[in-house]
Structure formats: structure tokens, C-alpha cells
Amino acid sequence: MSLPSQPRRIVIAGASLAGLRAAQSLRAEGFAGDITLVGAEPRPPYNRPPLSKSVLTGDDDVTLPGDEVDAHWLGGRRAISLDVAGRRVAVDDGSDLPYDGLVIATGARPRRLAEDQMGYAGVHVLRTVEHAQALRAGLGGVAGAAGRVVVIGGGFIGGEVASTARSLGAEVTLVEAGELPMAGVVGEVAAGWLAEHHRRNGVELITGMRVVGLVGEGGEPGEGGEFGEGWESGEGRRLGAGRGARRVRAVRLDGGREVAADLVVVAIGVVPNTEWLEGSGLTLDDGVVTDQALFAAPDVVAAGDVVRWPHGLFGERVRVEHWANANDQGLLAARNLLRGPAEAEPYAEVPGLGTRVHGARVQWAGLPHLGDASHLVAGKAEDDKFAVAFTRGGILVGAAAVAFPKELNRLRRGIVAGSALAAG
């Protein structure tokens, strides 16, 4: 099914990387109609990966080239509902945007503790420039006073924040509910190495324990959190610090232990921004469910952190939270929207992700958690340079590597080809 004839109007809900790439792709494909981008943040799209690294150390250059694309930008606005039959997107300023084609790219927001816990001053999440700048200011005060930072969550954001905080001189405790940080992502060998790597770099790592609450100075938490719950977290209310909220002083674990904290970073994952789509008739299940070509409904596609699609290579639905995925899906979703389902291409990119922790490069590809066996195929963990392959029924489905990008790339090619494991 192709899009209706002129006049053609395409709405892109979500104006971060996936939304920007969709707009660029539409123009590159020759689309001459109207494009409207609706973005919760008032600023142009920017690069998020530096937020947990260079921005925390003082570099605010997160410019993402290309926002000069010919489109109508609605910054600081949110899509609040979708009428698929009527082809209209309702916006929080009371307006309705009619469309002939829709790209859903509303991304995700940080998962939070209970709101009464988020109300303490000194409690942070990290998703936006404003989040990063507020955290940087907090880290500056804590590190200068030899204070303690507690990071809740040992995933790649939590690990990067812990690494950056240590580089600034702060004392850091990293609390991970699992037995090893990132074990579900990179497997036990790499996760075991990562745990020791944190400890060798001065991080107190607490694993296998859950956070049950925060403890403040002198009583109950402040009213609300430092930032509100709006999707993309860009327009959230600034509360807490400077508004009379009591400061956090400790993190309480499920065994009863309290870990002293002058600053807390909550890095326990993200939630896809799909609430505005409830009642639309689209299938929602940990994201917007699409077909392999990213269609969620006729003339409606989705891209980025918000989309869950059936990956043809792995035979199951996946959702990938990474800038490369948002970049590539934004481009393809827009092309498929123009071409229609009959000529659409399936999105079958094999994820290739990475992080840098205490100076070491940790990468993974494919879906290691699908493996029924793992194999150390190159190097040794004790040498801080190694690669692990994951197979399902003997076929490569994932890989993880530390300081070994060449080997990771070799394994990724094997995953793409659906190859059996071969020696390096």
C-alpha cells in the first residue's frame, strides 16, 4: 500500500536521533510534502552517548549534524494520543496533526524508583543534557569534598557513570541486583572480568542485593523528583535540590545494610514511551510491536528505542536500546513508509554495541542471551583482552569482547551469515 496522493503530510512523533534520521531519509528519497517533527525536548536533536562520559567531565558539545532538514519542528511538545482510523496525532498544546504517514520515534525514559524516593535532593537519573549537567554539578561538589557516589544498576550507563565518577576523584559504590554486572548482556566470562575491572579501579561493587529504599537527612523525601515523568524526560519539572527537599544520605539494601551516599544515580534501565499510544489499537508489548519492515499499522512505522520487531535472523521479537539501532531504523522506517509494505525491506541489522569502562573497551554483538553455550575463542580474561562466542544449536548468535574489536567484528560477520562457530 502506498501513501495517499498529494497533499502528503508526514508526522514524526519523537525528534531525537531516530526521528531526525527519518526526516532526513524522507527528503533524501525525494519526498516533497510536509514533515512535522514533535519533540518533547525544546532543543534540537543531540548525541546522547557522551552524556555519561564527556559531558560529565565538562564537554557540552553534543551537536548532532543535520537538524537543518526541511521540516516543521514542534519543540517542547509531546504527542499525547493517536487516532489511527482518523489519521491524527493529538499534541499536548491542544492541537491535532493530521497525517498521511506517521513515524513513531518517541524513544524511552529512565526507569525510576518510587516517586517518594526520587524526591530527595542529590538523586539523579540520566537521559538528557539537563540530566547530565545537573549530575555534573553534583559530581563536582561530591568529588571535591571526597564524598561518596552510589550508582544503582550495573548496566552500561551505570558502569559508564561509575567510571566517570571515579575519574573525577569520587568514591563510588556500584550496586547491582544480579550476581555479576551485565551478565545477561555479555555473558558470565566478560561479566566476571568486568566485576574485577570495577574493583581494580577503586569501585566498591555490591552484587546480588537489591535497593529497597533511600534514606534522607532528617525525615521524609522532598515533594516529587528532580525531574518529572514526561517522555524523553526533557520537559520534566525541576524539583528537589534548591527547593527545600532533604538530601539523600544513604541507600538501603534488602539485607538491611545502608550504604552512605552524598549523591545517588539511578541507572536501572529505561521504559519505552508508549503510554500515549494506549487505546490507539496498536499492539504494545515492551514497546510498539511492528512487523519485520517496522510497520505498526497501515502507513504507520516505528523506529528506535520504542520499537519491538521480529528479527528474521534470531526468530523472535527484540527491542534494542542503542544509538546505532535508532540511526539505522530511522532511515529504513522512513524509506519503507514511502515505498509501502509491498516494496518494504525487513530490518535485519545485527546489533553491535559497546561501552568504555575505566578506559577499557567492552563490546558485544548479536543476542548473547540466546546462546545455549559460550566459548572463549581468543585471548584470556586475565590478560584483559579476550573474546567470547555464543552459539545456539552450534550456530553463532552472539559475541562479547574486551579490547578485541577485530575479533568482535569477525564474530559479528559470522552471526550475520548464520555460521557455525569456527576457530579464529
Tens-place pLDDT, residues 275-301: 999 999 999 999 999 999 999 999 999
Q: Report whether the peptide linkage leading into residue 7 is cis, meaning its omega lies within 30 degrees of zero.
A: yes
pLDDT(165) > 70? yes
- Residue 226: the pLDDT is 37
Number of helices (H), then strands (E), in the chain: 7, 27
pLDDT(223) > 60? no
- Closest Cα to residue 123, out of 215, 16, 230, 44? 215
Per-residue pLDDT averaged across 316-333, rounded? 95
Q: Sign of the CA dihedral 40, 44, 45, 51? A: negative
The string of DSSP letters for 44-99 reads PPB--GGGGTGGGGT----B-TTTTSSSEEEET--EEEEETTTTEEEETTS-EEE-
- How would residue 143 be classed by pLDDT, with cut points 50, 70 and 90? low
CA 22, 269, 281: angle at the middle one, nearest 5? 55
Under a CB-based contact definition with an 8 Å cutoff, are residues 421 and 377 in contact? yes
pLDDT(66) > 70? no
Q: Lowest mean pLDDT: which of 52-56, 127-131, 223-227, 348-352? A: 223-227
Q: Which residue has the higher pLDDT, 242 or 57?
A: 57
- Residue 236: the pLDDT is 35
pTM score, whole prediction = 0.91
- Residue 292: the pLDDT is 97
Per-residue pLDDT averaged across 310-319, rounded? 93
- Residue 235: the pLDDT is 33
Per-residue pLDDT averaged across 84-94, rounded? 97
- Residue 227: the pLDDT is 31
- Residue 142: the pLDDT is 80
- Residue 342: the pLDDT is 93
Tens-place pLDDT, residues 183-196: 999 999 999 999 99
Under a CB-based contact definition with an 8 Å cutoff, are residues 375 and 388 in contact? yes
- Closest Cα to residue 330, out of 18, 13, 11? 18
- How would residue 354 be classed by pLDDT, with cut points 50, 70 and 90? very high
Measured between alpha carbons, how far is residue 138 from residues 145, 168, 175 in Å? 11, 12, 19
Lookup: cell for 216: 534522607
Average pLDDT, the chain: 90
- Residue 1: the pLDDT is 43
Structural domains for the chain: 9-107+273-343 (3.50.50.60), 110-269 (3.50.50.60), 359-417 (3.30.390.30)
Q: DSSP 3-state assignment of 218?
A: coil
Per-residue pLDDT averaged across 54-58, rounded? 93
Per-residue pLDDT averaged across 60-74, rounded? 86
